[in-house]
Chain A
Amino acid sequence: MKEENLSSKYKWCTLVLVITMTVLLIRLWDLQIMRGAEMRKLSEQNRIRIKKIVAPRGIIYDRMGKVLADTRPSFNIYLTPEDIRDFSQTVDGLARLIACDREEIIEKMKAASGMPPSFPIKIKSDIPMDEVARVEAHRVYIPGISIQIEPKRNYPYAASFAHVIGYVSEVSDEELKDKKKYKDYSPGDYIGKYGLERAYENDLRGVDGEKRVEVDAIGREVRTLDVIDPIPGNSLHLNLDLDLQLSADKALETRKGAAVALNPKTGGVLVLASRPGFDPNLFASGISKTDWQKIALDKLHPLQNRAIQGGYPPGSTFKILLALRALDLGIINERTTFSCGGGFSYGNRVFKCWKKGGHGSVSVHRAIVESCDVFFYNVGLRLGVDRIHDFGNTLGLGRITGIDLPNEQKGLLPSTEWKKKRYNQPWYEGETVSVAIGQGAVWLTPIQLAMLSSFVAGDGKNYKPQIVNRIVSTEGKVIKAFEPVVNADVKLKPGVLTIVKDGMRGVVNEPGGTAGASKVQNVLMSGKTGTAQAGSDKVRLGDHAWFIAYAPSDDASVAMAILVEHGLHGSSAAAPIAKGITETLFKVKTVIKEAKVNENR
């Protein structure tokens, strides 16, 4: 009985062992043989990640090879959703370690919700060293968080070049929705949003590389398996000149306005400054909401590039256009005089000259030098608005000049056709009288007036303004060189240019010239002041100050247009800036003497 009982127990035991072995082996067979390949793949996916290596953006140089925009290393925080164990542990943990709240992190994650869970989402860019240290020290407790060292855009001159060079910023959700145009971009990528950064995005961007790395369970890189190197973006060599730009920008810094300087022989843009500006570095490191609102809601519109987007009545600078055309057509000649008694009656209205007593009998030379309004009322009426419009248009006024920046505005140069189209009304001659001195329906941008100045300086020829001179690869190979493109080449009647140029030289250099105070030592500068009424007839704001100029007078290498919003007088507010640019260009050491500013036009 006992033996029987016992051996039956052992039989049971053997049975249990056999069943156990069978169950375990079936399960192992299932996992290792039937699903072995799949499991092997999962374990590979577990450990291998493809990480992007951000290509450094192309460097932007001025014409002397000085760096205007480059890249520097920055620490960026990434979150890989796949590696998260406990959502709130990672997200709240991170929020405590860096200056970034939970909502911001979740927002970033939502923005990248279309990406696979192994895609690292950029949470914060360019974090300070103490945050780097804190995050690294707590890595184990916040699985899924990683820090990457990546190139970050750096603008050493900050606001001084903000409107030309523009800025880069993270590609927005809206842009990413346009799958066709932005197919090469993923959330967190930088994209040029403004200025040259935007216009030359494809050249500057480069091609991101990637590396396959083995990572551990919390996403730390253990070793690199292979690397595809990024191709850095191409460099831009500009026609801009650092010193000239800084000189103009410094003069404008506390004001609103713009300065443009062109090389009249090529159309190369030497200066393109606009104030107020902003610090583009803020955008490059991921602008905070408060900073963005501060800039976007600023009543001074710091995001507007006044040099190419601001439309202003050109005031007396416009007289140069009329003089050129009238002389060329023979409507007036060197000796034609009109009598200025301080006013001009047309219809039932009296148009005043700025000089109350009048200029007396004036010829074209004196009319330019002393900026006589009555002379040009007469000239304007004889020319008619359409001939003014057509000639201005040829030179580049009232239309896109084609400068290599996005969102250029075309301003307005009126014509009978325009009035008919716009208001379905005929043009009244009385309106031509206002247009003749650059008031009324004329709205031009500083770059357009620089084109006018450049046309005179270039003896009847001007070029399309170009900021970029050439695109160069990292190996130093010139990928594209921008040759000068002729904008207007007008064969003027002989002598016409001499008369106008003499007048413009007189503005600065003759007694009674409206910009006499801005005479430059050793270099002859020619120019024309302008003072344009701002606001409406009811609400008069301070006049806008204009100055167009070129130097040297006989063989110009720079043509300029300066605008100071509400600067009151072209002679006192705008002309000194042109003087500053000229002095910087020709390295004139100025003996600063506070001359009494001639508050004339």
Chain B
Amino acid sequence: MRIDKRRYYHLDWYLIINGLLIFGIGLLNLVSATSSFSSGSYNFMIKQLIAFAMGLVLIVVVMYYDYRIIANHSRWIYLGGISLVVLVLVIGLAAGGAKRWISLFGFSIQPSEFMKPILVIFLANMLYEKKRQNTPLSLKDIAKPLLWTLIPFVLIVKQPDLGTGIVIILVCFAILWYIGLKKSTYAVLFAVGAISPFIAWHYLMKPYQKMRVLSFINIDADPAGFGYHAKQAIIAVGSGRFLGKGFMAGTQHKLQFIPEHHTDFIFTVFSEEWGFIGSVILFALFISFINRCLKIAMNAHDELGAIIAFGIASIIYVQFTINVMMAIHLAPVVGIPLPFISYGGSSLLSMLVSVGLLLNISTRRYMF
């Protein structure tokens, strides 16, 4: 494998260091979050570090091939991603009432996590010509990308994994917006957006999902279930106060008042232990990281790179925002991991592959 040495000089060290900081904080936080588990935090930390090491290898692999070559093969990658998602429905491992994982070479992986960057590349490859022509998209133009988004969306929601489904849909719309839409297209999308909640409520949502929404609106509607968890999450965050309770000193998660506190609710652990100050720093790191992604998009050599970088920025933004809002009761409870922080190999790998793509795009910004 020969790597052009010049590219090291163009490596985006800002992005790398910013990402490492977030990951480092996440690893530290994971130690505290899993310390009350019977298997101990060491086990979780090692697994997370293995995923990180595998991710580093993937970054190098992804960077080796020009993103344009990768984009050229995007339909095959997309097809591969979709087959894995279908495979989940066929031979998936069930956990907590949902089939989200498949066992591959001794690892359980969550294909829906990988579907996010794959969809970004796929859509970027499909649409970058339009962007270059700078023609706003008509209704007819968005039909195809929407269809290709709905396929994995339906498959993933069926698992059920509503969180990832929502991320995919939102990222798709973000990309469409980024390319530019006709005014008429905006109008239709807004109209559909306005009535879709009613349709979803009456025809699509499962009772437990409705319960989540209800207990979001009224936290006391279901004090035993989701409302209880939402309340405990707020108490965890609020009890951190200005300086936090200190590393390893959070009681809410340690005494099991918060479910999934090492995955989806991990922000409550961090905020309880590091308080307002710690949370502000973490937010700043995320905003700065997303901002850097946008900068890569802005400076990308071509529209293809720009769309991919923007798509990845929107993945991180959507996940970060919804995850934190859910923890502080500004959004209903949905299973969405906090990038780089939540425990989970697939999520981390998917994130690192995305970083690989970003670095790929940024190092090739001067190439013609």
Contact surface of A with B, Cβ cutoff 8 Å: 1-2, 5-6, 9-10, 13-14, 16-17, 20-21, 23-25, 27-29, 31-33, 35-40, 42-43, 46-47, 84-87, 214-218, 222
Residues of chain A contacted by B276 (CB below 8 angstroms): 28-29, 32-33
**B279 within 8 Å of A (CB atoms):** yes
Given A6-B298, A36-B242, does the pair A85, B224 have CB atoms closer than 8 Å? yes
Min CB–CB distance A13 → chain B (angstroms): 5
Q: Quick one: closest A residue to B291, CB to CB? A: A17
User: Is A13's CB under 8 angstroms from B251's CB?
Assistant: no
User: Is A217's CB under 8 angstroms from B255's CB?
Assistant: yes
Please give me the 8 A-B residue pairs with the lowest Cβ-Cβ distance, nearest first: A39-B238, A36-B241, A43-B239, A31-B238, A216-B255, A217-B256, A217-B257, A40-B239
Say whether chain A's binding surface is mostly helix, strand, loop, or mixed. helix
Number of A-B contacts (CB under 8 A): 108
Given A28-B237, A28-B279, A38-B238, does the pair A17, B290 have CB atoms closer than 8 Å? yes
Chain B 215-253 residues near chain A, CB threshold 8 A: 224-225, 228, 232, 234-242, 251-252
Given A6-B298, A28-B279, A218-B256, does the pair A43, B235 have CB atoms closer than 8 Å? yes
Min CB–CB distance B47 → chain A (angstroms): 24
User: Is B224's CB under 8 angstroms from A10's CB?
Assistant: no
**B328 within 8 Å of A (CB atoms):** yes
Q: State the CA gap A496–B346 with chains docked (Å).
A: 108
Residues of chain A contacted by B321 (CB below 8 angstroms): 20, 24
Contact for A87 among B134, B224, B238, B280, CB less than 8 A: B224
User: Is A85's CB under 8 angstroms from B228's CB?
Assistant: yes
Min CB–CB distance B274 → chain A (angstroms): 10
Q: State the CA gap A215–B252 with chains docked (Å).
A: 11
What 0/1 pattern do residues 308 to 352 of B give for CB contact below 8 A with A? 000001000100010011001010000000000000000000000
User: Is B235's CB under 8 angstroms from A28's CB?
Assistant: no
Residues of chain A contacted by B290 (CB below 8 angstroms): 17
Min CB–CB distance A457 → chain B (angstroms): 69
A and B contact pairs by CB, cutoff 8 A, 10 listed: A10-B294, A13-B294, A17-B290, A17-B291, A27-B328, A46-B235, A86-B225, A214-B255, A215-B255, A216-B255
Q: Quick one: closest A residue to B276, CB to CB? A: A32
User: Is A36's CB under 8 angstroms from B239's CB?
Assistant: yes
Residues of chain A contacted by B252 (CB below 8 angstroms): 43, 46
**B287 within 8 Å of A (CB atoms):** yes
User: Is A84's CB under 8 angstroms from B294's CB?
Assistant: no
Given A31-B234, A32-B240, A33-B276, does the pair A24, B324 have CB atoms closer than 8 Å? yes
Residues of chain B contacted by A43 (CB below 8 angstroms): 235-236, 239, 251-252, 272
**B178 within 8 Å of A (CB atoms):** yes
Q: State the CA gap A215–B256 with chains docked (Å).
A: 10
User: Is B242's CB under 8 angstroms from A32's CB?
Assistant: yes
Which of A14, A31, A38 has the most CB atoms of chain B within a 10 A radius of its CB?
Answer: A31
Q: Quick one: closest B residue to A87, CB to CB? A: B224
**B275 within 8 Å of A (CB atoms):** yes
Contact for B237 among A6, A17, A32, A217, CB less than 8 A: A32
User: Is A33's CB under 8 angstroms from B242's CB?
Assistant: yes
Q: A28-B328, A43-B235, A43-B236 are in contact. List 18 more A-B contacts (CB 8 A).
A: A9-B178, A17-B290, A24-B325, A28-B276, A31-B234, A31-B237, A32-B238, A36-B242, A39-B234, A39-B238, A39-B241, A43-B251, A43-B252, A46-B257, A84-B224, A214-B251, A217-B255, A217-B256
Contact for A216 among B238, B256, B272, B275, CB less than 8 A: B256
Min CB–CB distance B7 → chain A (angstroms): 25
Q: State the CA gap A36–B283 with chains docked (Å).
A: 19
**B363 within 8 Å of A (CB atoms):** no
Q: State the CA gap A6–B309 with chains docked (Å).
A: 14
User: Is A2's CB under 8 angstroms from B271's CB?
Assistant: no
Residues of chain A contacted by B134 (CB below 8 angstroms): 1-2, 5
User: Is A86's CB under 8 angstroms from B256's CB?
Assistant: no
User: Is B255's CB under 8 angstroms from A47's CB?
Assistant: yes
Residues of chain B contacted by A33 (CB below 8 angstroms): 241-242, 276
Given A2-B134, A85-B225, does the pair A39, B330 have CB atoms closer than 8 Å? no
What 0/1 pattern do residues 164 to 186 of B give for CB contact below 8 A with A? 00000000000000101000000
Residues of chain B contacted by A28 (CB below 8 angstroms): 237, 271, 276, 279-280, 328
User: Is A46's CB under 8 angstroms from B255's CB?
Assistant: yes
What is the total number of residues of chain B having a CB less than 8 Å from a CB of chain A?
40
Q: State the CA gap A24–B328 with chains docked (Å).
A: 9
Residues of chain B contacted by A216 (CB below 8 angstroms): 255-257
User: Is A47's CB under 8 angstroms from B251's CB?
Assistant: yes
Q: State the CA gap A144–B102 with chains docked (Å).
A: 36
Q: State the CA gap A33–B243 with chains docked (Å).
A: 10
Min CB–CB distance A153 → chain B (angstroms): 35
What 0/1 pattern do residues 67 to 78 of B give for CB contact below 8 A with A? 000000000000
Residues of chain B contacted by A218 (CB below 8 angstroms): 256
Min CB–CB distance A26 → chain B (angstroms): 10
Residues of chain B contacted by A47 (CB below 8 angstroms): 251, 255
User: Is B224's CB under 8 angstroms from A39's CB?
Assistant: no
Residues of chain B contacted by A87 (CB below 8 angstroms): 224
Given A1-B134, A10-B294, A32-B276, does the pair A17, B287 have CB atoms closer than 8 Å? yes
Q: State the CA gap A111–B236 with chains docked (Å).
A: 34
Q: Quick one: closest A residue to B239, CB to CB? A: A43
User: Is A46's CB under 8 angstroms from B251's CB?
Assistant: yes
Residues of chain A contacted by B232 (CB below 8 angstroms): 46, 217
What 0/1 pattern do residues 261 to 292 of B give for CB contact below 8 A with A? 00000000001100110011001000100110
Min CB–CB distance A189 → chain B (angstroms): 29
Q: Quick one: closest A residue to B325, CB to CB? A: A24
Contact for A25 among B236, B272, B283, CB less than 8 A: B283
Min CB–CB distance A387 → chain B (angstroms): 78
Min CB–CB distance B341 → chain A (angstroms): 15
Q: State the CA gap A50–B272 with chains docked (Å).
A: 24
User: Is A21's CB under 8 angstroms from B255's CB?
Assistant: no
Residues of chain A contacted by B271 (CB below 8 angstroms): 28, 32
Min CB–CB distance B208 → chain A (angstroms): 13
Q: Quick one: closest A residue to B132, CB to CB? A: A2
User: Is A27's CB under 8 angstroms from B291's CB?
Assistant: no
Contact for B283 among A13, A21, A39, A42, CB less than 8 A: A21
Q: Quick one: closest B residue to A41, CB to CB? A: B239
Min CB–CB distance B242 → chain A (angstroms): 6
Q: State the CA gap A218–B258 with chains docked (Å).
A: 11
Residues of chain B contacted by A32 (CB below 8 angstroms): 237-238, 240-242, 271, 275-276, 279
Min CB–CB distance B258 → chain A (angstroms): 8
Q: State the CA gap A2–B298 with chains docked (Å).
A: 12
Min CB–CB distance A448 → chain B (angstroms): 62
Min CB–CB distance A213 → chain B (angstroms): 11
Q: State the CA gap A40–B255 with chains docked (Å).
A: 15
Residues of chain B contacted by A17 (CB below 8 angstroms): 287, 290-291, 317
Q: State the CA gap A16–B235 with chains docked (Å).
A: 28
Q: Quick one: closest B residue to A32, CB to CB? A: B276
Q: Quick one: closest A residue to B228, CB to CB? A: A85
Residues of chain A contacted by B234 (CB below 8 angstroms): 31, 39
Q: Quick one: closest B residue to A42, CB to CB? A: B235
Residues of chain A contacted by B242 (CB below 8 angstroms): 32-33, 36
Chain B 169-211 residues near chain A, CB threshold 8 A: 178, 180
Q: State the CA gap A37–B291 with chains docked (Å).
A: 34
Min CB–CB distance B35 → chain A (angstroms): 13
Min CB–CB distance B279 → chain A (angstroms): 6
User: Is B328's CB under 8 angstroms from A31's CB?
Assistant: yes
User: Is B330's CB under 8 angstroms from A23's CB?
Assistant: yes
Residues of chain A contacted by B330 (CB below 8 angstroms): 23-24, 27
Residues of chain B contacted by A29 (CB below 8 angstroms): 276
Q: Quick one: closest A residue to B288, CB to CB? A: A17
User: Is A40's CB under 8 angstroms from B325's CB?
Assistant: no
User: Is B280's CB under 8 angstroms from A25's CB?
Assistant: yes
User: Is B256's CB under 8 angstroms from A42's CB?
Assistant: no
Residues of chain A contacted by B280 (CB below 8 angstroms): 25, 28
Q: Quick one: closest B residue to A9, CB to CB? A: B178
Residues of chain B contacted by A1 (CB below 8 angstroms): 134
Q: Quick one: closest B residue to A86, CB to CB? A: B224
